[in-house]
């Protein structure tokens, strides 16, 4: 009981939902190469959660347990499409949160146990981004790199602003529309430094290594060459997407210049080090939930049984603000 309470206290449950490309229905599953997703709650309700399981069927945290880098030509026995030899070391796992052309703002619930994907809720309402003419919703497959964290207590040397307290964001520019919860391998091409309400909010530009056009892209200049206008559209979208909500235009470091692959890789390295400090309890993570099942030397590591219990608890009452101990006792039938 006490162990479960400690895990729960590292992040309080919040609300969620979506309209996206996953199959509907509580408890349904969708298989991927190395990971599975499991839906809990009704889509398009604040109870909706998308939990992650590994290949053996055990619950994991996508934020903490999915590795940042793709370390070999064959990851966990699953072959991947061949990339250039000198690019293997720069392949990363990306968790897709928002499919291209959709509006629901889906995100990893960083403050909830096991960090499922949920829909962002603001002022008691599910959040949908406005359409920025002439676009419909998000203009890329949007997601994040696992095992990264933009520390809100550490000022970025490049932007002179503190981090936004989230994993680093990724804009995947390939030709396929992906689904919420997919875990794909991406090549990093460059990065944009968005300053969102005074915080550094890096936006990586990447492409799915299995995209039919992936072999053309190796750095940010290739995006300019083979997808003319896409970077300009990206800059414009991020500048304006909060304006319909009554907020001012967003600003950018470097006057909105997209930095190249080498620069982006250094930013990823830095955010990965921040995440390591977070998981080792060497910095103030605030309400971030660090519960994980695979980081052997982390003080936040839990057993598979505890992870399953936490998923059931979050699914049982994701929106209630009752006492944590009461939730645990009710869940256990005490």
Residue 12, in any domain of the structure: no
pLDDT digits (tens, 9 = 90+) for 217-271: 999 999 999 999 999 999 999 999 999 999 999 999 999 999 999 999 999 999 9
Residue 30, in any domain of the structure: no
Residue 285, in any domain of the structure: yes
Report the phi/psi class of residue 99: left, alpha or beta, with left for phi > 0 and alpha for psi in -120 to 50.
Answer: beta
Termini Cα distance of the chain? 11
Residue 16, in any domain of the structure: no
pLDDT in the model for residue 43: 87
Q: What number is the average pLDDT over the span 309-324?
A: 66
Structural domain boundaries, residue 52: 36-69+89-316
pLDDT in the model for residue 319: 54
The answer to whether the CB of 307 falls within 8 A of the CB of 114 is yes
pLDDT grade for 324, boundaries at 50, 70 and 90: very low
pLDDT in the model for residue 90: 83
pLDDT digits (tens, 9 = 90+) for 88-122: 678 999 999 999 999 999 999 999 999 999 999 99
pLDDT in the model for residue 42: 87
Residue 23, in any domain of the structure: no
DSSP letter string over 26-40? TT-EEE-SSEEEEEE
Beta bridge partners of 142: 98, 171
Q: Does position 25 have pLDDT exceeding 60, yes or no?
A: no
Give the count of alpha carbons within 13 A of 218, CB side only.
8
The answer to whether the CB of 201 falls within 8 A of the CB of 169 is yes
The answer to whether the CB of 132 falls within 8 A of the CB of 257 is no
Residue 22, in any domain of the structure: no
pLDDT in the model for residue 318: 54
pLDDT in the model for residue 88: 65
Q: Does position 15 have pLDDT exceeding 90, yes or no?
A: no
Whichever domain contains 179, its CATH number is 3.90.80.10
Residue 330, in any domain of the structure: no
pLDDT in the model for residue 317: 57
Backbone phi, then psi, for 47, in 5-degree steps? -90, -5
Instruction: Looking at 28-110, list the stretches that DSSP marks H as alpha helix, in order from N- to C-terminal side.
Output: none
pLDDT digits (tens, 9 = 90+) for 180-224: 999 999 999 999 999 998 999 999 999 999 999 999 999 999 999
Q: What number is the average pLDDT over the span 321-332?
A: 39
**Looking at per-residue confidence, does 39 or 27 come out higher?**
39
Number of independent structural domains in the chain:
1
pLDDT in the model for residue 87: 63
Give Dmax (Cα) for the chain: 63
pLDDT digits (tens, 9 = 90+) for 28-69: 334 346 899 999 998 888 999 999 999 999 999 999 999 999
3-state secondary structure of 12: coil
The answer to whether the CB of 195 falls within 8 A of the CB of 161 is yes
Residue 173, in any domain of the structure: yes
Average pLDDT, the chain: 85
Whether omega before 310 lies within 30 degrees of 0, making that bond cis, reads no
pLDDT in the model for residue 71: 74
């Amino acid at each position: 009981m006490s162990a479960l309470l400690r895990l729960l206290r590292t992040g309080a449950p919040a609300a969620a939902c979506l309209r996206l490309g996953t199959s509907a229905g509580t408890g349904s599953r969708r298989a991927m190469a190395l990971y599975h997703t499991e839906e809990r709650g009704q889509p398009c309700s604040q109870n909706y959660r998308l939990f992650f399981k590994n290949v053996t069927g055990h619950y994991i945290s996508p934020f903490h347990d999915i590795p940042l880098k793709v370390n070999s030509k064959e990851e966990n026995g699953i072959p991947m499409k061949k990339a250039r030899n000198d690019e293997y070391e720069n392949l990363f796992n990306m968790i897709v949160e928002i499919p291209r052309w959709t509006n629901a703002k889906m995100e990893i619930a960083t403050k909830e146990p096991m960090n499922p994907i949920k829909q962002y809720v603001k002022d008691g309402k599910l959040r949908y981004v406005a359409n920025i003419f002439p676009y419909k919703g998000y203009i890329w497959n949007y997601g994040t790199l696992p095992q990264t964290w933009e520390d809100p207590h550490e000022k970025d040397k490049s932007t002179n602003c503190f981090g936004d307290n989230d994993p680093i964001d990724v804009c995947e520019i390939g030709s396929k529309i992906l689904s919420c919860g997919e875990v794909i391998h991406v090549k990093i091409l460059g990065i944009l430094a968005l300053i969102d309400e005074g915080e550094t909010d890096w936006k990586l530009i990447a492409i799915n290594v299995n995209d039919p056009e992936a072999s053309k892209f190796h750095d940010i200049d290739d995006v300019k060459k083979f997808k003319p206008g896409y970077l300009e559209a990206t800059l414009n979208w991020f500048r304006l997407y909060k304006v319909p909500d009554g907020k001012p235009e967003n600003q950018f470091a470097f006057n909105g210049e997209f930095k190249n692959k080498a620069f982006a890789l250094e930013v990823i390295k830095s955010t990965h080090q921040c995440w390591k400090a977070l998981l080792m309890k060497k910095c103030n993570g605030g309400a971030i939930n660090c519960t994980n099942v695979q980081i052997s030397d982390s003080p936040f590591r839990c057993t598979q049984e505890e992870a399953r219990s936490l998923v059931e608890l979050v699914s049982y009452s994701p929106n209630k603000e009752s006492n944590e101990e009461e939730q645990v006792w009710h869940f256990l039938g005490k």
